[in-house]
Chain A
Amino acid sequence: MIRLHNVERSYPLGRGQLFYVLRDIDLDISQGDFVSVMGPSGAGKSTLLHILGMHDHGWTGEYFFDETATHHLKAKERASLRNEKIGFVFQQYHLLDDLTVYENLDIPLSYRHYSKSERTALVGDALDRFQIVGKKDLYPRQLSGGQQQLVGVARAIIAQPKLLLADEPTGNLHSSQGEEIMKLFRKLNEEGMTIVQVTHSEKNASYGKRIVQLRDGWIV
């Protein structure tokens, strides 16, 4: 599903010199895979995730997504592809503070121009599936960290993406809450969703099918 070839990401240091965050990345991820990206701080894990998520456009190399050469796409086309195929879960949940749980789930659908009735049905399903119907009118600040991340995951998959990207999804949670989220990820993966997560935790990584180790921008 995903094929990276010779992907590199660098920042200028001045006087024509470059600082490389990622070097010569070759990576294949198949449909239904569950990949954990690990490595020390500054290894380039999050950068890799943001390249996969098409947030970052300043890289070089080749990136095929479902055989689409994203490296040839314009920013607008990449955004369109991202909206259609990719969901995100963040360490800090990044729920929108001013919106209720229901509205947080609804907003990705509204950005994708779903009709009102479709949105109502999909949000209803998500609330049921994640057992958060009772929380639908609460604001993020009224939820525990685990509950917030549960909403974060629900939001990430509500538009039925093929790929779920997660950046330290349990980093801010108690271990028991983290375990719940990881079990949820495993379940989603078993249902067919491709997942790539960045994590420092060996335990979390063990929920995945394989591990990609990064060090100083290289895959090792």
Chain B
Amino acid sequence: MIREIRFAFRRLARSPGFVVIAVVTLALAIGASTAVLSLVNALLIRPLPYGAPQQLVLLLQHFKSQNLERIPVSPPEFVDYESRAQDFDKMGAFGFLDFNLASGDKPERIAGAQVTANVFPLLGVTPIKGRFFEPTECQVGRDDVIIISERLWQRKFNRDPRILGTKLLLDGKSFTIVGIMPARFDFPLQLFNLGAGGQFGGRADIWQPLAFTDKALSLRSYRSYSIVGRLKPGISLAHAQAEIETINGQMRIEHKDNYPPADSFGGDVYPFQELAVAGMRPTLLILLGAVALVLLIACANLTTMLLARAAAHEREMAIRVALGAGPLRLLRQVLTESVILALLGGVAGVLLAIWGVDLLKSIGAQTVPRLREVNLDLRVLIITFAVSVGTGIVFGLVPGLASANPELTESLKEGGRSSTMGKSRNRLRNAIVIAEVALALVLLTSAGLLMKSFVRLQKVNPGFDSHHVLTAEVSLPKLKYPDDKAIVRFSDEAQRRIAALPGIQAVGLTTILPLAGSNSDSSFAIEGRTNDRNAPSPDEEKREVSPDYFRAIGTPLIRGRFFTQADNADAPLVIIVNQAFAKKFWPNEDAVGKRVVMGGMSPDPKWITIVGIVGDIRHAALDVEPKPEMYVPFAQDPYKSMIFAVRGAQDPRPLASAIRSHIQSIDPSLPLANIRTFDAVIAESVAPRRLSVVLLGVVLLATVGIYGVMSFLVVQRTHEIGVRMALGAQRADVMRLVIGRALQLIAIGTAIGLLMALFSMRALQALLYHVSAVDLPTFFFVTFVLALVALAASYLPAQRAMRADPMVALSHNT
């Protein structure tokens, strides 16, 4: 065997051109499939990085009558679930929380979370140093302890071994470090496309005990936490779901005022793993299908080329048979060669995949859950090795079988044929080319539809003008900013100072930025409309914004007015709504001047007057239609976390440091976090789509092999072309012959490919935006391009063959 490997290397070394083409073809195909495999492995196969993750579930709620799905729970509801549920071994609540870390003269915002004492133990993890939280530390006043990540320990404390017990100043308050979690620990996971997910951002590096205040424990409408639980051994998801429904029923009876009647309200138990990656599953499965096709195309390419090589080496095979080689031995020799080629392609493919995975991570790490974990681990490498060997066997088998039974008598005779092709072998190669054209058409059509979809999405009007807008986040510590007045004072001063910078056109702030992954909503009642107790209150999305916010992001005023500085805490309460809101609730009236009250109707309602209507904004995603929204003046309902939107006359990125120093001139302990352009926010929001487009771009490269094979087939006919020319054939005759053959193959291949595409494109529909799965222009365009490529691949080498000296052409022997 070793000798056969050595001989195979030697034979390959004599055809460097062929080897390069083959290895590049294989590297692209295997590289693309390895990259997709590593995605599938990390997102769909690899278990979550917790102990026995299959028993972990998330518990979220819904209010069907208000179209609210997968929303967080309130503290008293968590207490109800935790105290009553018997199917759960343990249950814990958690919420995202960022911290301002005082760090010399450069404060920093660190992503983190609050967790109840049960969360770490139920996840089945252990700290690398120290301990988890005690239940007593989840009480207000005793929650001044934190656990930090190994990453933060490394980065900020240089792995100081005496770290435990050290005090850390977070948001102006001192916390004691009691534990360190390993670097690979990641919790909470970003849950893509879920209301319960936190804002897209970094991994949590600080965990604080979640201590509910008495007030929080009394508010059933204050839904800010998610629940993670571990099912008891042997308990099924359905059983746990049934128990949660029983508890929901009890809640509805015990707290009638808080829940709509019937079963509009409820809680749902989801497998943690499922929820973490569900959004990416269709994309990944389609990509997996695409790379399988790419591999098939690569196999077809290589089979065709190896068949031609087999014809050229038929005499050699005949000699080997004459020397005593059996068919199996010859087959083994050809397969050794093809598997070596495939392994070389595999190695190059893995290198490509390493680069590709880095590229994918840079595209989608912010928005695709678990993407950071994607790597080429042992499992992926083993599968890639198996795929490479399998690919080598697949594309070597047909040429191997053809070589294993050479025409002995003819091949060994002096002057016997050596490179002319038998009819059956020609038929075989034609069939392979037809299959290849058909597969390429399916792939190109998929890529075409996704590209078109992506372009359409890029052209969608999001409802704001993101160009030249910089966004940055600030979170005020409660100790230093204990009341609304202090918050408003800071926000007004910050906006005033930033607006004074040269080149700034408008400065606004909001609590929720479009397309950034977070959301908030509120129920409300409309003046003059029956608020039937039995009917659920309407519930729509709600943001708090400053007077200049809409000018800063370029959202147009449709009617009424924007907020002004006069809309402060002492002024009458006002809101602005968007067009979707106005149309939904006053389809035939003017919404401006109408009044609503937040929450439910009360005997003494605080009426809020609608003073303006603004254009619709796509908040959840570019491919999700705008929803009704309410905007409240920030001064009338201030929040400690705020996002500045700064519009510059030009690219505002250079102003980032000036903005930071202005914020810190007001409060030196405040870090400015998540500084990025609004354009970048949009780009990150479409990362999963971009991901699939990039991967299919690689797929396109792989289909370039069509050109290689078609031209290879014509080059094979150089001798025949020479003979025909020597016999007096005109250029047009030869061209007709060559192009005619190519056209035949393309026509049959595209007909089969179109049929395959028509049936298979339905699976793609879920990933398309405003493009039909049977979009005829795309189908026509792709067919045209493919035909053009194949024709060029036939025309150019035929031209070369005809221009060549007939003697050279006649002596041409591959």
Contacts and interface: CB of A to CB of B under 8 A. Distances in A.
Interface string B389-425: 0000000000000000000110011100000000000
Interface residues of B, number: 21
B325 interface: yes
B414 A47 contact: no
A91 B14 CA distance: 25
A108 B409 CA distance: 19
A218 to B, nearest CB: 20
Contacts of A110: 3
B312 to A, nearest CB: 12
Contacts of B409: 46-47, 50, 55-56
Interface string A21-52: 00000000000000000000000001100100
Interface string A81-110: 011000010111010111100010001101
Contacts of B84: none
Contact of B322 (A55, A91, A97, A159): A55
Nearest to A156: B323
A167 B319 CA distance: 13
Contacts of B320: 96, 107, 111
A112 interface: yes
Contacts of A97: 14, 316
Interface in A44-94: 46-47, 50, 53, 55-56, 79, 82-83, 88, 90-92, 94
B606 interface: no
A36 B14 CA distance: 39
B1 to A, nearest CB: 11
Contacts of A79: 321, 326
A110 B326 CA distance: 11
B239 interface: no
Given A96-B319, A98-B10, A91 B414 contact: yes
Interface string A154-169: 0100010000000110
A178 interface: no
A171 interface: yes
Contact of A88 (B10, B322, B326): B322
B222 interface: no
Nearest to B7: A98
Contacts of B315: 94
A98 B315 CA distance: 13
B77 to A, nearest CB: 76
B329 interface: yes
Contact of B414 (A82, A83, A92, A98): A92
Contact of B316 (A47, A50, A96, A155): A96
A99 B324 contact: no
B800 interface: no
A55 B412 contact: yes
A56 B408 contact: yes
B647 to A, nearest CB: 70
A108 B324 contact: yes
A195 to B, nearest CB: 17
A39 to B, nearest CB: 15
Given A108-B324, A159-B324, A99 B414 contact: no
Interface string B301-340: 0000000000000011001111111100100000000000
A29 B412 CA distance: 23
Contacts of B326: 79, 111
Contact of B14 (A47, A83, A98, A103): A98
B322 A53 contact: yes
A90 B412 contact: yes
Contacts of A98: 7, 10-11, 14
A107 B323 contact: yes
B320 to A, nearest CB: 7
Contacts of B329: 111
A57 B408 CA distance: 10
Interface of B: 3, 7, 10-11, 14, 315-316, 319-326, 329, 408-409, 412-414
Please provide the 10 A-B residue pairs with the shortest distance between their CB atoms, ordered closest to farther. Answer: A111-B324, A55-B408, A83-B324, A108-B323, A94-B319, A50-B409, A98-B10, A111-B325, A91-B414, A56-B409
23 contacts: A46-B409, A46-B413, A47-B409, A53-B322, A55-B321, A55-B408, A55-B409, A56-B409, A79-B321, A79-B326, A82-B324, A94-B322, A94-B412, A96-B320, A97-B316, A98-B11, A99-B10, A111-B325, A112-B324, A159-B324, A167-B412, A167-B414, A171-B414
